[in-house]
Amino acid sequence: MGIEDKFQAAADKISGKAKETAGEATGNEELKAEGKADQLKGHLKDAAENVKDAAENVKDAFKK
């Protein structure tokens, strides 16, 4: 996983949590839902990168 990808996934999760918290504090359900969606997006990016890394490791194992 590249450093930019890790940073972007973390940024999505952090900003999502902030939106969710702000939505809860203000009673804004739309903002709360948007925050949860942003967090999910960050987690999905992490998962996709983990799959890429695992595939690369398998590929490298067969090269040896």
Q: Total structural domains in the chain? A: 1
Which band of pLDDT confidence, cut at 50, 70 and 90, is reported for residue 56?
A: confident
| Main-chain dihedrals φ then ψ at residue 37, nearest 5 degrees | -65, -40
- Cα 11 from Cα 17, distance rounded (Å): 10
Mean pLDDT of 52-56: 87
What range does the domain containing 48 cover?
Answer: 3-63
How many C-beta atoms lie closer than 10 Å to residue 47's C-beta?
A: 11
Q: Does 64 score more than 70 pLDDT? A: no
Cut 0.85: pTM above it: no
pLDDT, one tens digit per residue, over 12-52 is 999 999 999 999 999 999 999 999 999 999 999 999 988 98
